[in-house]
Structure 1
C-alpha cells in the first residue's frame, strides 16, 4: 500500500538521541533544545523561539500570553483543526468562526472586519497547506482595532509572505505570536512536537516563565537570579531533549527535505492540470503574495460523490488518500454556540477536498495514473 504519510528519517535521529541520553540531560532545555531554537531565531528572525511538546501547547501558551479571559472573542476559520479553537476555549473565549475563501481554504479576509466587536481580543489566521493568508489585511485590522494576531503556522515551516512593502517575510514572523507543529505528518518532524515563535518583545520574558511551569527557572540557570520560584501561571510545555535531538537531525536537512517535497508537489500539479480542467476539479491555488512549502497536495472536487469515487478508486489500488477538516462551527461541541451564519466555503471544503499522499520517499506516478484513469 502507498500510505498517505510516511515519516522520513535523515539517519542522524538515533545518533543524536543517544548523545542526548548519554549527556545525562534529557529533561529539556539542554543542548539540542538550544540548537533548534537558535536555528529558528537566526534563519527566520523570530525574536524568540521556544520548543513545545506540540503545536497545541504553543497555541495554549499564546492564549495565556495575550491574557484571554472568559467572554473574550477570538476570530478564526471554521475550516481548521480543533486545537486552533481549543486553546482559546480552555481560557473561556468565545470563538467567532469565519468562512474560507473560494480560491483556497484560508480565511476569507474580506469578512473579518464585520466579525470584529468590542469583545474581540485576537485574530488567528491558519496558513492552510503552508500557503500564506493575506497578512497585510489582517495586520492592518489588528492595528486599527488593537487586536492580537496569532498565526497558526502548524503547516507553514519555510513558507513566506510578500506584502505591500515588497519584503518577503517568513510565515510565523508576522503576527505577535505564532505556533508551529513538528507532528509526524509535517515537513519537518519530531514524532510530536511544536514551537512558539514570539515576535513581540512584550511577551519574551513571560513566555519563558509560562513555558517553565510558571517559574523563573531558566533565568536562574542563566545566573540572572539567585533562586527560582513560582512567579506566574504556566504548565509543562517544555519537551524533552530526546524530542529536540530528533528535531535537530531533521532541521540539519531542511533544504534537501524541502527540495524533494517540492519536486513531488510539482509532479502532481503538472501531471494533473489537464485532467483537473477537464473534470472541473480545482488544484491548489497559491496567491502571488505566497510561496509554496509543499506541505500538502490537495484536490477540490465539484461534489462529495466525485470525491468519494476517487477515494474508493485509489483505495482499491492500495493508495491511501484522505479528506481533511470537518467545519468546526458544525461540530457536536460547538454548533449550539455558533451564530446562524452559513459558512458556505468551509462546508464545501469539508465535502470536496481530498489530500493525496505526499512524503519524501514517494514516487507519485502511480497515484497520478490511477486518478487520471478513474
Structure 2
C-alpha cells in the first residue's frame, strides 16, 4: 500500500532528543524551544514566537489574547478543521462561517464585509494547502472595522504572499496573530506540535504569561522580577523539549524537504495535466506554493468515491478532506441558514493524493497512471 502520508525523519531527531535528555531539561522553554523560536523569527520575519503543543493550542491562546467573550462574533471559512472554530467557541464566541472561493477552498474574501456586524471581533483566514488568502483585502477590512486578524497558517509554513505594495511576506507574518502546526501530516513535523506568532507588540508580554499557565515565570527566570505568581488566565501551552528537539532536526533540513515536496507536486501536475474530467489546485499570482498537498477536484461525489475505491483496490490510499463545519452535527442548528455552495462543493469533490518526502518516482508513475486509466474507462 502506498500510504497517504509517511512521516519523514532526517536522521538527527533521536540525536537531539538524546541530547535534550542528557541535558536534564525535559520540560518546556529549554534550549531547543528557544532555538526553534529564534529560527522562525529570523527566517520569516514573525514577531515573538512561542512554541506550543499543537496548532489548536496556538489558536486557543489567540482567542484568549484578543479577549473573546460570549456574544463576540468571529468570521472564518466553513471549509476548515474543527480546531479553527473550537478555539473561539470555547471562549463563548458565535462563529460566522464564510464560503470558500469558487476556484479555491480558501475563504471568499469578497464575501467578508457583508458578514461583519457590530459584534464582529476577528477574522480568521485559513491558508488552505499553504496557498495564501488575499491578505490585503482582509487586512484592509480589519483596519476599516477595527477587527483582529488571526491567520490559521497550520498548512502554510514556508509559503509567501505578495501584497499590492510588491512586498513578499511570509504567511503568518501579516495578521496580528498566527497559528502553525507541526503535526506529522505537515511539511515540517514534530509528531504533534505548533506555534503562535505574535506580530502585534501589544500581545507579546501577555502571550508569554498565558503560555506559562498564567504566571510571569519566564520573566522571573530572565531576572525581570524577583518572584513569580499567578497574574492572568493561562494554561500549559508550551511543549516539552523532546518535541522541539525533534522539530529542530526538521528545521535544519527545511530547504531540502521543501525542494523534494515541490518536485513531487510538480510531477503530479505534469503527469495529470491532460485530464479534462478533473480540476487542479489553483495558486493565485499573489501566493507561492509550499507543496503542502496535491489535490484533485472530481466531477461529483460519486466520481470521487469511485476513484478512492479504485486507487485503494490498487493499494494506493487517497483521502477526501474537510466536511463543511456549518453542516456538522454540532453546528448545523446554530448556522444562520446561508447556503455555502463552494464549501459544500469542495466537501463533496476534493480528493487528496499521497504526498510525502519518500514518495518515489515509481510511486508517482503508478498513482498517476492509475488515475489516467480510471478516467479512460
TM-score by length of 2: 0.98
Deviation sequence 1:271-326 (CA, Å, 0-9, x none) = 10102x2x2x1100000000000000000011111111110110001000000000
Match of 2:359 in 1: 362
C-alpha distance in 2, partners of 1:272/1:350?
A: 22
Does structure 1 residue 37 correspond to structure 2 residue 37?
Answer: yes
Q: Tell me if 1:193 matches 2:186.
A: no
1:226 aligns with 2:223: no
CA deviations 1:127-182 (Å, max 9, x no partner) are 00000000000000000000000000000000000010000000000000000000
Q: Quick one: distance in 2 between partners of 1:244 and 1:128?
A: 25
* CA positional deviation for 1:366: 1.2
1:326 aligns with 2:323: yes
What whole-Å deviation, never above 9, does each CA across 1:39-62 have from its counterpart, x for those lacking one? Answer: 001001111000000000000000
TM-score (norm 1): 0.99
* d(CA) in 1 for partners of 2:267, 2:65: 42
Structure 2 spans left out of the alignment, 5+ residues: none
The equivalent residue for 1:283 is 280
Cross-structure match for 2:269: 269
Give unpaired runs (5+ residues) of structure 1: none
Specify the SS of the correspondent of 1:197.
strand
- Asked whether 1:116 is paired with 2:113, we answer no
* 1:298 maps to 2:295: yes
CA distance in 1, matches of 2:372, 2:31: 49
Q: Quote the RMSD (CA, aligned, Å).
A: 0.4
Distance 2:341 2:62 in 1: 29
1:312 aligns with 2:309: yes
Distance in 2 separating the partners of 1:142 and 1:200: 14
Instruction: Report the 3-state secondary structure (helix = DSSP H, G, I; strand = E; otherwise coil) of the residue aligned with 1:338.
Output: coil
Q: Give distance in 2, aligned partners of 1:366 and 1:237.
A: 43
Matches within 5 A, 1:1-374: 1-275=1-275, 277=276, 279=277, 281-363=278-360, 364-374=364-374
Residues 68-87 of structure 1, C-alpha deviations (whole Å, 9 max, x = no match): 00000000000000000000
